[in-house]
């Protein structure tokens, strides 16, 4: 009988690992706060008391779970040097939720609380489905080609972790360019700093440049101290109204696609741990993640968590089971005291975004490095389609802003055009299409943007199956695509029966065609 081992609560590598994972996750809060206050017009008190406090507590709960999970597994496997899994706010989901859900909802409704409640509704649906998927993920993954999921994941990373953040960051290019390339020099040049971490040095230099150039203001820093207080999160059940949940259901295609994409990334994190001979049961890890997300959502946190890559690096740094908890404690202290406001007024958003950009680049490169060359075409198809969503969201957000302005400026647009611009779900959508087409914006951008990630997974899967000459499975995937199109999960701005009849018939025709090809090929093999 093995003697129970004692797992240390602290190891020398825990400090570096805790700080590294903290900056990786916390930087996303710094990014979100100015957007919620400056663009969504959410009251500062609400942001720090409700949203940020809930976010910090969510990260703490998840971090505590990962530490306890590691300690339990270490005792079971007689491994006192076990290194915990770690995670935090998902960079991809943060930018998707902000740019594809929160901002468009706000521009249509002009109500920041409703935009927040809709995003919470989306996160609630996501968390529940994530919990269900925790028990059946191996069954689901049997049917979807690995490279198809990887291609769509890279597409999501390129769209929401590289392009969108870079666009935001380059509002102050003199800050982001030095910060970005200093970070690249350390990471891609494989240079290890003697003092501090690459992220700390790069963001520190970017912050100094921002202050010297006048991007950051001392008055803002002074004002940020007024937000210092003790904020205790509470459940926000009142925000989950029938109206907001019904609105949230329109984002089901987005939820399903990113659920699969994030699960793919989570599985990669578990695989990295296996490289260090530390095998974490995926089901337990995913249940812990989904329950953390579910609790956080009910508390008012709209920003979902996921597992991060990099376990081998922290293992090499001799981090133990507790560094995840230490990172969570720092999150908790800053979030519950309002110190987030102070940090956000010191560190410029453009400098914070460089970590997100770096992670997006590494994620994309890693996917292609592990993917098989014969499927690169399918992966590129999966990469391309999510880009349409970013382009379309930016265009329609501008249209909504112009439409809202036109309501109060009758001399600029006539009433009919103004109505069509301010509500893209309106029956006069054809007028909007015409106006955009006249400006050179093809209707196909809108068609592909609606349910883009789901379409990316379906299209990339189909191409993988075509490459392998699996005609029956190709037919089955086209039939699934038919069903998705029929119910508005793709190519439609909301769920509906017979949402896009022309495309549904097109996909059904292809399903039948490939079924015939399979029958013919089967007959030829018999001869």
Residue 127 has what DSSP assignment? H
CA gap 162, 355 in Å, rounded = 10
Per-residue DSSP letter, 313: H
What single-letter DSSP state applies at residue 52? I
Place of tokens 């309002």: 338
pLDDT-wise least confident of 334-348, 401-415, 442-456 = 401-415
Contacts of residue 388, Cβ cutoff 8 Å, sequence gap at least 6 = 445, 448, 449, 452
pLDDT for res 426: 45
What is the C-alpha separation between 463 and 510, in angstroms, rounded?
13
Write the pLDDT tens digit of every residue in 52-98. 999 999 999 999 999 999 999 999 888 888 999 999 999 889 988 99
pLDDT digits (tens, 9 = 90+) for 140-189: 888 888 888 888 888 888 887 788 888 888 989 999 999 999 999 998 89
Report pLDDT digits (tens) over 239-251. Answer: 999 999 999 998 9
Q: Give residue-wise pLDDT tens across range 196-207.
A: 778 888 989 999
Which residue carries 């039939």 as its tokens? Answer: 479
Q: Indicate if the pLDDT at residue 380 is higher than 80.
A: yes
Q: Which helix (H) or strand (E) holds 328?
A: helix 323-337
Residue ranges in 142-172 assigned as alpha helix (H): 146-157, 164-169
The Cβ of residue 522 has, within 10 Å, a number of other Cβ atoms equal to 11
Question: What is d(CA 255, CA 42) in angstroms, rounded to the nearest whole number?
Answer: 24
The pLDDT value recorded for residue 179 is 93
Structure confidence at residue 254 (pLDDT): 87
> Is 229's pLDDT higher than 80?
yes
CB hemisphere CA count around 349 (13 angstroms): 18
CB 53 within 8 A of CB 232: yes
């Amino acid at each position: 009988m093995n003697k129970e081992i004692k797992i240390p609560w602290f190891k020398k590598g825990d400090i570096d690992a805790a700080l590294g994972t903290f900056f990786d996750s916390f930087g996303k809060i710094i990014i979100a706060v100015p957007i919620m206050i400056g663009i969504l017009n959410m009251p500062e008190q609400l942001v720090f008391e409700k949203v940020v406090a809930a976010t910090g507590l969510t990260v703490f709960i998840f971090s505590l779970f990962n530490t306890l999970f590691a300690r339990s597994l270490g005792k079971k496997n007689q491994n006192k040097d076990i290194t915990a899994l770690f995670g935090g706010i998902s960079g991809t989901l943060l930018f998707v939720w902000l740019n594809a859900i929160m901002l468009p909802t706000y521009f249509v409704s002009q109500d920041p609380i409703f935009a927040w409640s809709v995003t919470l509704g989306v996160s609630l649906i996501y968390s529940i489905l994530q919990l269900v998927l925790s028990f059946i993920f191996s069954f689901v993954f049997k049917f979807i080609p690995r490279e198809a999921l990887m291609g769509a994941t890279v597409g999501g990373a390129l769209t929401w972790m590289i392009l969108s953040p870079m666009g935001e960051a380059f509002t102050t290019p003199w800050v982001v360019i030095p910060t970005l390339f200093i970070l690249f020099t350390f990471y891609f040049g494989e240079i290890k700093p003697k003092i501090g971490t690459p992220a700390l040095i790069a963001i520190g230099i970017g912050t100094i440049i921002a202050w010297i150039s006048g991007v950051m203001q001392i008055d803002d820093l002074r004002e940020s101290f007024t937000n210092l207080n003790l904020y205790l999160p509470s459940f926000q059940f009142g925000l989950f109204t029938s109206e907001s949940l019904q609105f949230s259901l329109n984002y089901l295609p987005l939820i399903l696609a990113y659920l699969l994409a994030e699960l793919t990334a989570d599985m990669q994190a578990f695989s990295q741990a296996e490289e260090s001979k530390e095998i974490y049961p995926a089901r337990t890890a995913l249940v812990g993640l989904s329950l953390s997300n579910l609790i956080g959502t009910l508390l008012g946190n709209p920003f979902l968590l996921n597992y991060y890559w990099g376990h081998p690096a922290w293992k090499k740094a001799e981090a133990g089971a507790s560094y995840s908890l230490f990172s969570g404690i720092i999150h908790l202290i800053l979030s519950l005291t309002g110190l987030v406001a102070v940090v956000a007024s010191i560190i410029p958003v453009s400098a914070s975004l460089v970590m997100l950009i770096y992670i997006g680049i590494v994620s994309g490169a890693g996917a292609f490095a592990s993917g098989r060359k014969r499927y690169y075409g399918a992966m590129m198809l999966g990469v391309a389609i999510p880009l349409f969503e970013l382009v379309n969201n930016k265009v329609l957000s501008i249209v909504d802003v112009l439409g809202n302005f036109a309501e109060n400026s009758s001399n600029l647009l006539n009433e009919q055009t103004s109505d069509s611009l301010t509500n893209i779900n309106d029956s006069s959508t054809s007028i909007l299409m015409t106006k955009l087409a006249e400006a050179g914006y093809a209707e196909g951008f809108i068609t592909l943007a609606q349910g883009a990630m789901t379409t990316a997974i379906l299209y990339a899967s189909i191409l993988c199956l075509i490459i392998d000459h699996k005609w029956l499975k190709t037919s089955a995937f086209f039939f699934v695509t038919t069903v998705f199109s029929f119910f508005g999960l793709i190519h439609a701005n909301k769920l509906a029966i017979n949402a896009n009849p022309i495309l549904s018939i097109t996909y059904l025709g292809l399903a039948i065609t490939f079924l015939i090809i399979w029958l013919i090929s089967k007959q030829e093999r018999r001869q």
